[in-house]
Structure 1
Amino acid sequence: MGFAEEHEKWLNRHKRRRTGERLDRLERGHGHGEKLFAERVWWPLFGDFKHLHPEYEVSDWRGRPYFVDYVWKPGQVKFAIEIKGYGPHVQNTDRTRYRQELNRETYLQIAGYRVLAVPYDDLESSPELTISLCKTLFFPCLLQKSGDGLSKYTKLEREILRLAACSDGIIRPVDLVHGLAADPKTIKRHITQLCEKGRLKPVLSSSGSRIRKYEYIHNMLDNDLW
């Protein structure tokens, strides 16, 4: 499935787990900027929403509840991600509120979170910059996770991903058979496995009746797959 379907499933899953103010905050707080980050930065990097929590409740230094736009907890390391709009965060005339916001970010770091501030304007005009910065920040943490990285894929699967990435993101099974000199049944089996892992997506023909090619789903670890 693509971004829209996965994003809706992920958001509904979190809504079902919440009640009261936590649910209300998720419905009110997950707005345009947060969705833009999910679509233009997070999805291209990861292709899923594992370990990502929207409108995550934490306590500030006074013990009062505070909701972070996103918290990502892939393991021992915790990231607090905030989408910063120019108006609310720079032109804010409420100086007390502005000081509290800065103090909250400092306290988050004291509480063990690595804080990432994402400019809203970059999400609209140059998401590639944010993707590059996030990749540099997140990559060392991903390499430490068991089950991620090279061990997750067989040698043939890595070759399939490499060819798919070099073919403008679209690959046909027949191309893989010829390019890898492999048996068609073997290629079909590995394509199925990569679809289950979320790395390939079937593309229906114009008639909508057959699958003749597959879309490559990028992952930030792919630079180390070959």
Structure 2
Amino acid sequence: MSKEFEAAHERFVKQHLEARSGERRGRLERGHQYAEKLFLRHIWWPLLGRFDDLHPEYEVQDWNRRSQFLDFAFLPRGGARIGIECDGFQSHIKDMDREKFSHALNRDSFLTGMGWKMLHFSFDDIRDRLEVCRMLLQLSLGPLTGTASAASPSRLSPEEKDVLRLAWSLGQEIRPKDLRDRYGFCHRKARGVLNSLVRHNLLRPISGGTYMCKYETTGSFPEALLRS
């Protein structure tokens, strides 16, 4: 995947550089750096495998008609506008004074009023908590890209839905013992429910010696589970 990503990323940046001039080109050359590429490599590419309709260092205007640049804008057909920001603690919080902090909040509120949906990912999460970032991105883009879920929630039993919610709430590997303690399942039933979620590509087994004794979430979190 690394070689495929690198080739696609190089084409992606080159395409946008060739289409720009002046400050818009300079901003892309200066602004698309380590954090932005890390987001694409570890969060965007594994979910979508393409950069269609994605624009790096995208120019917008604030309420004073001053130019601002979003790290990314996702502009699929149909008119949706998604702004994506990769926020480092040092540059976006620690080094902000009160005026810059207020302006950042006002900018997001203004863009929201103009029909944008703004997504913010911290650099620490992009680097260390990939599954959380993928899940959040998937929930936001799924209705627009067809990636909302790996399995239709209607195909999951109520018990499977409960176990999937439990797996996400634990924030760590889930074991058959967790299901026995929470729901009173026998070992066979607990393994059966967990393995069913594996078949739906919602859990991934982790080998423990000769047995699959732990499972982790895959990041393919069905959006409809939030409403079911």
Q: Summarize the alignment of residues 71-150 of structure 1 with structure 2, pairs less than 5 Å apart.
A: 71-75=73-77, 76-143=79-146
The answer to whether structure 1 residue 5 and structure 2 residue 7 are counterparts is: yes
How many residues end up aligned between the 2 structures? 153
Distance in 1, matches of 2:110 and 2:26, equals 24
Per-residue deviation, 1:93 = 4.1
Q: Is the 8 A contact 1:51 1:72 kept in 2?
A: yes
Per-residue deviation, 1:92 = 2.5
Q: Which residue of 1 aligns with 2:54?
A: 52
* Matched letter for residue 118 of structure 2: V
Per-residue deviation, 1:90 = 2.0
Per-residue deviation, 1:141 = 2.0
Per-residue deviation, 1:143 = 4.0
Distance in 2, matches of 1:93 and 1:8, equals 32
SS of equivalent residue, structure 1 residue 12 = helix
Q: Summarize the alignment of residues 156-171 of structure 1 with structure 2, pairs less than 5 Å apart.
A: none
Using structure 2 for the length normalisation, give the TM-score.
0.62
**What is the RMSD computed on CA atoms of the aligned residues?**
2.7
Per-residue deviation, 1:97 = 1.4
Distance in 1, matches of 2:144 and 2:48, equals 13
Distance in 1, matches of 2:135 and 2:115, equals 24
- Percent sequence identity is 37
- Residues 151-203 of structure 1: per-residue CA shift (max 9 Å, x gap): xxxxxxxxxxxxxx9xx9xxxxxxxxxxxxxxxxxxxxxxxxxxxxxxxxxxx
Using structure 1 for the length normalisation, give the TM-score.
0.62
Distance in 2, matches of 1:102 and 1:31, equals 23
Q: Is the 8 A contact 1:79 1:116 kept in 2?
A: yes
Q: Is the 8 A contact 1:3 1:39 kept in 2?
A: yes
* Matched letter for residue 74 of structure 1: P
- Residues 64-105 of structure 1: per-residue CA shift (max 9 Å, x gap): 000000000112211000011111222134221121111111
Distance in 2, matches of 1:89 and 1:13, equals 28
- Residues 7-35 of structure 1: per-residue CA shift (max 9 Å, x gap): 00010000000000000000000011111
| Alpha carbons of structure 1 residues 136 and 60: separation in structure 2 relative to 1, 3 Å | same
Q: Which has the higher contact order (CA 8 A, sep 6+)?
A: 1
Distance in 2, matches of 1:90 and 1:22, equals 25
Distance in 2, matches of 1:16 and 1:60, equals 26
* Matched letter for residue 93 of structure 2: V
Per-residue deviation, 1:59 = 0.3
Q: Which residue of 1 aligns with 2:41?
A: 39
| Alpha carbons of structure 1 residues 93 and 65: separation in structure 2 relative to 1, 3 Å | closer
Q: Is the 8 A contact 1:92 1:98 kept in 2?
A: no
Distance in 2, matches of 1:91 and 1:129, equals 23
SS of equivalent residue, structure 1 residue 22 = helix
Find the partner of 1:26 among 23, 28, 43. Answer: 28
Distance in 2, matches of 1:21 and 1:89, equals 22
